Structure 1
Amino acid sequence: MGKLRKAIALLLAVGITVSVAGCGTGTSSSSVSSASVSDTTNDNHTLYNSLDNFQLYDENGTLLRSGRNAESEDKTMVSTGKYEATKIGLQILENGGNAIDAAAAIGFALGLVEPNASGLGGGGFMTIHLANGTNRFIDFESCAPAAATSSMWTFDEESKQANQSSQNTHQEKNVQNLANHIGAKAVGVPGEVAGMLYALQKYGTQSSKAILDPVIQLANTGFTVTPTFTQELSDSKVRMDGYPEFGKLFLRSDGSAYETGDIFTNQDYADTLGLIEKNGVKGFYEGEVAEKIVNMVNLYGGNLTLEDLKNYKVKDTTPLVSSYRGYQILSAPSPYTGGAALTQTLKVLENFNLSQIGEESPEELSLFSKTFQVVNLDLQKYLQSSSKTSSSSFQNILSSNHAQDLAYWMTQNPNVQVTLPKSSVQVIETESDTSCYSVTDKMGNVVTVTQTVNDSFGSSICADGYGFMLNSVMGDFSTDSTSLNCVSSSKRPLSTMSPTIVLNQDGTPLLSFGIADRTQIPSLAAQILTKVIDHQKGLQEAVNSPRIDPSAIGESKITYEDRFSDDVVQTLSALGYQMTKSDSWDKATGEFQGILFRLDGVLEGAADPRWDGKALG
C-alpha cells in the first residue's frame, strides 16, 4: 500500500446506537454491525439500507466473497464497484436508455458513493463499442493548469544532489511533502463532468435530467457506509486534519468518523448535480462551481484559473487496436501506456502455449512475472526516448515481430534476472484510488470506463459546499524535465488506465472490463484475460482466482495472494524469486469489473470480491 495509507483497524459498530446528527453534508442513522437499521429512532433513514437485500459483509464487518456475479439472457448487464451505482445503471437501461446513458449515470453515481476513488473533481477514459461496429475512445483525463511547470514544486535536497551527481540523464526527483500528490499544487483541471456530458450528448439517448435525477435522489436519501468506505475514511483522517473542508464533508460535526452501517448523505453533491442538470457543462466549468474550485485551490497556494476550467476540452478518438490469439483488443491509445503495456504483454505471451503450460503452475507464474518485467523495461526505454519518440517507434514496440524478439530472448535466457535501474524510473509510492465499470445494452452497445481522482480522496482539497474532492493528477507527471511525461502547460499526464473491450473475429463482443489501480492494471488484465481465453474459465471464476503482483521494479520479486499451494510457492522460490505473501484477498492487486459474452448467449457480469463490487443484469 502507498505511503499515504496507514494501517488502522476498521471502525465497526458493536450494537445499536442512538443516531447522531452529522455536519452539513453527512447524516448518521442508527448503526448496527450487519447493515440493518434500528426502528427505535425518528431518523428519516430508519429501516433504510441502500444495499437492499445484497449482503456485502457479515456481522463482523468482513466482506463476503460470494454473490458478486450476475447472469442475464436479455442482453443487459452492469458491473461496477458499488451496488448503488450498478443499480442506477440498470435502472437507466430498464427505462429505455442505452449503454452510454447508463455509463454516464454510473459515473456520476460513483462520484457520490466512491468519492475516495473518483468524482466530479477527477477525470478518466471511456472505451465504446457501438452496435453498428463503431469503436471510440473518449479521453476526459484531467490536465495540468496552464501555469504548471515542474519548478512550482520544491524538491528534496538529497534528490537534487543525486540528480546532479548521476551519470543518468533521466532522473526522478522527490517532491517535498508530496506536494505533487497532496495539496493545491497537485490539482489539475477536472475532466469528468465534461467527459460524461460529451458522451451523453454524442452517443446517448437520454436527457441529463433522466440520468442525473436518480443520483440526486440517492445523494439526498443517502447510502450505506460499508467496511471498505469506513477504512478509506479512517486512513484519510490524518489528512483531514490539515484540510478542514475535507473533514467537514466526511466527518461528523464532532469530528468522529462514520461507522459501518451508517447512512451518509451529501446534499451539497445533489445541489451541484442540480446545477449541472440545469446549465450543462457551464454549470460546472463556469459560474459558482468553477469559482469555488479556483478559490479553494488558490486558498492553499495553487495556480488553477477560471480560464483553465473554461478551456477544458474532451478528446474523442479511436482506441488502440491490437490482437491476441485472433481476438481483437480495444484499449487506451498512444500516448497513454496502459493499452500499450497490455498489448505488448499479450503479444509476448502469445508466443507460449499457456493451455499446455498449465494454469497457475510455477512455469506460468514465472512466465507472467518475467513478461511483465520485460515489457515494463521496454516501455520505460520508450518513455525515456523523449524527443526521439514518434508514432512509428510506438507502433514498432507493439509489433508482433518485436514481441517475438522479446519472447526469444526470454527463452534463451531462462535464468537471467530482468533488472531495471531504479534511478531511471518514475516510481510513485502513493496509493492510487480509481473506479471502473462496464455496461452493455440490448442493442449491442458496450461501454467500459475507468475514472479517478488519483490518490485516495485526490489532493485532499474539497470544493467546500459543493460536495466533491479535487484530483491529484499532477502526481502522475514525471519530475524529470527530460521525460516524455514531464510537466508542461495544459498537458495530460501518461496513464496506465486502460478500459478494454475484446471482440470476437466476427466483430461481436467477447469481453468488456475495467481495472482500478496504478501499476498493476496491465498485469492483472493479462492474468484474467488468459484465464478466460487460454484456460476457458468463467469470468467470475477468473476474477476470484488468486493473483500475483510482480510490480517490483529492478527485482525478481513476486508478491502473491495467500491462496496458492505451498508447492507452487516453493518451486518459484527455488527458481530465484523473492516470494512475499500478502492477504488471501489482497486489495493491492487491483480491482476488476467486467462482462463476459458467453457462447451460449448468456451474459456473465463479474465484480471483484476484494472490494465492494456487484454486477446486475
Structure 2
Amino acid sequence: MSLAMNWRAAALGLLLVAGGALAADGAPAKAASGHASTRAPGHAAIASANFHATEAGLEVLAMGGNAFDAAVAVAATLSIVEPESSGIGGGFMAVLHRASDGHNVFIDARETAPAAVDAQDYLNPDGSPNRDTALKGPLSAGIPGEPAGLVLIAKRYGRLPLKQSLAPAIRIAREGFEPDERLREAIAGMQKDLQRWPASTAKYLPGGKPPAAGVIWKDPDQARTLELIASHGDQGFYHGETAQKLVAAVRAAGGNWTLADLASYRAKERTPITVDYRGYRIVTAPPPSSGGVAIAEILNILSGYDLTKMDAATRTHYVIEAMRRAFRDHNDYLGDPDFVKMPLDMLLSPFYADGLRQSILPDRATPSSMLPRAEAVEPGMHTTHFSIIDADGNMAAVTSTVNYTMGSSFVAEGTGVLLNDEMDDFALVPNKPNVYGLLGSKANAPVGGKRMLSSMSPSIVIGADRTAVIGSPGGSTIITQVLEGILHFIDGESARQIAAHKRFHHQYLPDVVNVEAGVFDAAASDALTKMGYTLKSREPWGFMNVVTWDRKTNQLDAASDPRRPSGLGKVQ
C-alpha cells in the first residue's frame, strides 16, 4: 500500500485506513461487468485536497459510517477549509458505487438559475459579455445544490444521521483551523473583489487584510448553517432562517433570488454514462456534465487503435484528434437534460465514433478553423475532487465547485456561505467563450430552474482485477485530465504515478495543445510540430485525487497530486 508525503506537511490530504479483512463471498467480477467485486477490501482509502477533510472522512468511518457518510463529511469540511474551490454555496457531481448490489448512480447537485434570470444582465451596452456580473457578486450565483446533494446521499446511501456526518465540519468551524497557503494566497489574490461586500470583507479579510500564516480562523456563521442542515436536512438550508438570510443578502446587493427559488431546488439521481474500453468499464458523469459524454466519445474513437504499439508522438496525435472532436460536440449539443433534448444515442454510439475516426489523418493534425474561434484564458483549479473506497467496497467519486477562485466573492451576511459564480457556465452570450474559453449554444442558454453545463467528470473505472476512483479540478481541463488518468490506469500504473503524470490538453478552440513542461521529449515535440500542432507551454495544472484497488492482492493505493506542495499520508 503506497503512501503520499509526510503527514506533518498539511495542505492536501490522502488517507489509507486499515481494518479487519473480510472474506470474499463469490467469484471475481468479469471485465466491464459494472460490479467492482464480490470481495471487500477490508480497509479504506480516501484521497482529498486537504488533510482536515481527509481526517473528517476517517472520523466518520470510525463511527461506523460508510463511504457515502464519509463523502458528506469530506465535502462539508472542504466548505470550511477550502472555500476557494468548493462549498455549500456551490454544487457537486458524484458517481457512487454500492458494493452490496453493484448499483451505480450519479448524484446531480449542480446549481440552477434563479427564475428571474435575465441574459441582459450579463451584457455590456455594446452587446459584449459583461465578465463582472457573470463572475462577481450575487448576479453571478446560481441556486446552491451542495446542501441538497449531501442530504440526498446521507438519506439514501449512508448509515449515519447527518448530525454525525456533519459533526467534524461543524467542530472545525467552531473551534477554528489554520488556513493553508493555498487559501491565504487565494484570499490575497481576490482581495479587491472581496472588499466590495461587507460580509465578505468581515469573513475573509479580518483587520482589512488576508489571514496571516499560523492564525486560527473560526467560521461561526457557517457552523450555524451546517447545524441547521444537520438538524433539519433540506429544510435547514432551503427554508426558514438560512433561506431568508440568503435571499435578503442577495437582493440587497442587487441579485434576483427568491424564497421560491430555494424552496424548489432538488438534487437528482441520474443514470451514469458507461463505456467499455480495453476490458474496463468506465462509469462517469452524464449531462448536465459534459465530461462523461466527452470521455466516452474519446474512448470510443480510441478503441479503433492499439495505442500500446505506437510511439509517443503517434499515440498523442490520435488522442488529441479524439479530444478535438469531442470538444466540438461538447460546444454544440450539450445542456441540462431536463430542458434540452440531446442526441446522446448518437454521441455515445461506437458507429458515430467510427465515422469520426475516418476523418483523422494518420500523420497530420486536423485544423479546427472551420468553426468560430474562441480564445481561452488559462484553465483554473477552482474546483475540488475527492475519491473514497471503504472497507466494504463502496465507492464515491465526488467533484465539487464554486466555479472560479472564491466563487462570486460574495458572502451572504449571517450565513457564512460564500456563493458560487456558476452563472458564467451558461452560454450567456451564444458562441462567446466563458472564463475557461468554452463555447456554448442555445442548448446551454440560461433559463430559470435550469442547470448550467459542467466539465466535472467524477469517474469509477472497473476491470476484472483492478478498480480506480478518479477525478480532478481544472475547468475545461478536467475532462482531459480524467481521460489521461483513465488511460494511465488501464496501462497498469499506480495511483501515485497517475496523479503525478505530466499532462496535455486540447479543447478544439483555440486550436493549440497546452503542454506541461516535460510531458513530451524533444523527439515527440518535434514530430507533433511537424504534424501541424501548435504546442503552448503553460504552468502545471491539476489537483487530481486518485484511489485504486488491486483486487488480486487486495491492496489499496491512494494519491493526491504532487503539484500541490504538501500532503498527508497515513495508515492505521
For normalisation by structure 1, the TM-score amounts to 0.80
- What is residue 597 of structure 1 aligned with on the other side? 549
2:5/2:568 contact within 8 Å kept: no
2:104 maps to 1:135: yes
* Closer, same or farther: CA 259–422 of 1 in aligned 2, 3 Å: farther
- What is residue 33 of structure 2 aligned with on the other side? none
- What is residue 324 of structure 2 aligned with on the other side? 373
Comparing 596-605 with 262-271, greater Cα deviation is found at 262-271
State the 1:70 CA deviation: 4.9
1:605/1:616 contact within 8 Å kept: no
State the 1:56 CA deviation: 2.9
State the 1:197 CA deviation: 0.8
Matched ranges for 1:229-244 at <5 A: 229-244=183-198
Aligned with 2:304 (options 332, 338, 351): 351
1:562/1:582 contact within 8 Å kept: no
Cα shift readout 1:126-175 (whole Å, capped 9, x = no counterpart): 21110111111111111001111313333351xx3xxxxxxxxxxxxx32
State the 1:428 CA deviation: 7.4
State the 1:376 CA deviation: 1.1
2:317/2:365 contact within 8 Å kept: no
Cα shift readout 1:570-606 (whole Å, capped 9, x = no counterpart): 33333332223233xx1xx322112111132101112
- What is residue 451 of structure 1 aligned with on the other side? 400
2:151 maps to 1:197: yes
Within 1, Cα distance between the matches of 2:51 and 2:567?
6
* Closer, same or farther: CA 56–310 of 1 in aligned 2, 3 Å: same
Q: What secondary structure, in the 3-state scheme, does the structure 1 residue paired with 2:451 have? A: coil
Aligned with 1:547 (options 503, 506, 518): 503
Comparing 552-561 with 68-77, greater Cα deviation is found at 68-77
Cα shift readout 1:427-483 (whole Å, capped 9, x = no counterpart): 677846111111121122111111111111111110223222011121111024661
- What is residue 19 of structure 1 aligned with on the other side? none
2:288/2:451 contact within 8 Å kept: no
2:84/2:407 contact within 8 Å kept: yes
2:411 maps to 1:411: no
Within 2, Cα distance between the matches of 1:250 and 1:114?
12
Within 1, Cα distance between the matches of 2:115 and 2:273?
28
Within 2, Cα distance between the matches of 1:193 and 1:220?
19
- What is residue 517 of structure 2 aligned with on the other side? 561
State the 1:426 CA deviation: 9.8
- What is residue 388 of structure 2 aligned with on the other side? 439
Within 2, Cα distance between the matches of 1:146 and 1:134?
34
- What is residue 466 of structure 1 aligned with on the other side? 415
Within 1, Cα distance between the matches of 2:53 and 2:504?
29
- What is residue 182 of structure 2 aligned with on the other side? 228
Aligned with 1:325 (options 278, 292, 297): 278
- What is residue 47 of structure 1 aligned with on the other side? none
Q: What secondary structure, in the 3-state scheme, does the structure 2 residue paired with 1:456 have? A: coil
State the 1:248 CA deviation: 1.2
Aligned with 1:477 (options 426, 441, 452): 426
- What is residue 511 of structure 1 aligned with on the other side? 468
Q: What secondary structure, in the 3-state scheme, does the structure 2 residue paired with 1:145 have? A: coil
- What is residue 247 of structure 1 aligned with on the other side? 201
Query: Partner amino acid for 1:242?
Result: R
2:350 maps to 1:400: yes
Aligned with 1:492 (options 420, 428, 451): 451
State the 1:77 CA deviation: 0.8
Matched ranges for 1:21-60 at <5 A: 54-56=7-9
Query: Partner amino acid for 1:568?
Result: A
Within 1, Cα distance between the matches of 2:505 and 2:8?
29
2:65 maps to 1:109: no
* Closer, same or farther: CA 567–615 of 1 in aligned 2, 3 Å: same
Within 1, Cα distance between the matches of 2:94 and 2:151?
12
Within 1, Cα distance between the matches of 2:379 and 2:488?
30
Matched ranges for 1:194-343 at <5 A: 194-253=148-207, 255-343=208-296
* Closer, same or farther: CA 193–420 of 1 in aligned 2, 3 Å: farther
- What is residue 10 of structure 1 aligned with on the other side? none
- Pick the structure with greater CA Rg: 1
2:339/2:450 contact within 8 Å kept: no
Query: Partner amino acid for 2:352?
Result: H
Within 1, Cα distance between the matches of 2:518 and 2:182?
20
Within 1, Cα distance between the matches of 2:224 and 2:329?
47
- What is residue 501 of structure 1 aligned with on the other side? 460
State the 1:204 CA deviation: 0.7
1:69/1:604 contact within 8 Å kept: no
Within 1, Cα distance between the matches of 2:368 and 2:362?
13
Comparing 524-533 with 220-229, greater Cα deviation is found at 220-229
Matched ranges for 1:598-613 at <5 A: 598=550, 599-611=552-564
Q: Which runs of 5+ in 1 are unaligned?
A: 1-50, 58-62, 161-173
Query: Partner amino acid for 1:145?
Result: P
Within 2, Cα distance between the matches of 1:474 and 1:432?
18
Q: What secondary structure, in the 3-state scheme, does the structure 2 residue paired with 1:190 have? A: coil
1:115/1:468 contact within 8 Å kept: no
Paired residue total? 532
Comparing 598-607 with 478-487, greater Cα deviation is found at 478-487
State the 1:367 CA deviation: 2.6
Query: Partner amino acid for 2:418?
Result: M
- What is residue 41 of structure 1 aligned with on the other side? none
1:119/1:453 contact within 8 Å kept: yes
1:591/1:610 contact within 8 Å kept: yes
Within 1, Cα distance between the matches of 2:531 and 2:294?
25
Query: Partner amino acid for 2:399?
Result: T
Within 2, Cα distance between the matches of 1:477 and 1:596?
34
Within 2, Cα distance between the matches of 1:88 and 1:298?
35
State the 1:82 CA deviation: 0.7
Query: Partner amino acid for 2:58?
Result: L
* Closer, same or farther: CA 69–561 of 1 in aligned 2, 3 Å: farther
Aligned with 2:114 (options 138, 141, 145): 145
- What is residue 537 of structure 1 aligned with on the other side? 493
Q: What secondary structure, in the 3-state scheme, does the structure 2 residue paired with 1:410 have? A: coil
State the 1:614 CA deviation: 4.7
Comparing 400-409 with 290-299, greater Cα deviation is found at 400-409
State the 1:238 CA deviation: 1.6
* Closer, same or farther: CA 71–373 of 1 in aligned 2, 3 Å: farther
2:68/2:158 contact within 8 Å kept: yes
* Closer, same or farther: CA 187–387 of 1 in aligned 2, 3 Å: closer
Query: Partner amino acid for 1:490?
Result: G
Q: Which runs of 5+ in 2 are unaligned?
A: 19-40, 431-440
Q: Percent identity?
A: 29
Query: Partner amino acid for 2:403?
Result: N
Query: Partner amino acid for 1:500?
Result: S
Within 1, Cα distance between the matches of 2:452 and 2:60?
33
Cα shift readout 1:111-134 (whole Å, capped 9, x = no counterpart): 011111111111111211101111
